[in-house]
A and B are shown apart, each in its own frame.
Chain A
Amino acid sequence: MREDEFRDRLKGAIGEPPPLASPSYGPGTTARRRLYPAAMGVLAVALAVLLVLVLVGTRLALTPRGNVGPLGKDGGERPLLVAEEVRRQHLDARGRKLRFQSADRRRVARCR
């Protein structure tokens, strides 16, 4: 197919454009139309920030802070003491075990 034939065919396929409205030369309506998505963008960002604040706020409000263990008669000190006590007992038990082990070794040496 020759170039001219193709040109005619393309023009026939697309067709002539209908009479379109002449554009306005300046910001006019376009600027107003452009304002709408901009306003929607600002609104979307504001909503997103609000959502994040609400989520963080509720999270902070509902997260237990400080001591949550059972309180003794003297307030919040008791759980710490309990923890300290457990740690001490654990160390004592290890010390005792080491002592028994060395005593056993001495006993074995004496038997030999």
Chain B
Amino acid sequence: MAAEAHQDRPFVDLVAPLVPAAQRLAYGMLQNPHEAEDAVQEATFKAWRGFNRFQEGSNARAWFLTIVANECRQRRRSRWWSLLRVAEPAGEEPAAPQADESSMDLRRALGRLPAGMKLALVLRYYLDLPFEEVGHVLGVGEKAAKARVHRALRRLRVEIPELNPDA
């Protein structure tokens, strides 16, 4: 057990500082704290399993966030057949998001976006990643990442006209 823990040391050292970003990404994508927690846990396990494939010197944050993003995408896909979630106990709800109508509209519109577009927006505007890193996580180049973010914004503007630059 101690030997195993010793072997896992480099993995823990690499991943532990990235967990807050991963949790933020999962929460941004799933908008549910419990699902986000599960997604990060599952992604951490997958990262641990594939750690031998990680190339030293490459971008660890992009590598780990890619695994988390894939996990979130998978969870969003499998949601429709999964069990009905019961209402959460009142005390546990973070109640952090703004409850005004325009914020709710934005959240709803965000939820209706295709996973790839939503991921691009969350990475760029919720995690404040540079386009280069957004591209890494999306598996595309910097220019393609920029294009995807702009496409996602354009789509959001159709649903919420107030987001237009002239508005």
Contact = CB atoms under 8 A, between A and B. Distances in A.
B165 A15 contact: no
Q: Which secondary structure dominates where chain B touches chain A?
A: helix
A74 interface: no
A3 B121 CA distance: 11
B77 interface: no
A17 B24 contact: yes
Interface residues of A, number: 26
* Size class of the contact patch on chain B: 35 or more
A14 B42 contact: no
B41 interface: yes
A7 B4 contact: no
Contacts of B106: 9-10, 13
A101 interface: no
B19 A23 contact: yes
A10 B121 contact: yes
Contact of B103 (A1, A3, A9, A18): A9
Given A14-B126, A16-B96, A26 B4 contact: yes
B126 A23 contact: no
A36 interface: no
A11 B110 CA distance: 12
A16 B153 CA distance: 21
A42 interface: no
Given A1-B162, A9-B103, 7 more contacts: A9-B106, A10-B121, A13-B110, A15-B96, A18-B94, A22-B19, A30-B41
The 6 closest A-B pairs by CB, nearest first: A15-B97, A15-B96, A17-B27, A18-B94, A23-B44, A13-B103
Interface of A: 1-3, 6-7, 9-18, 20-27, 29-31
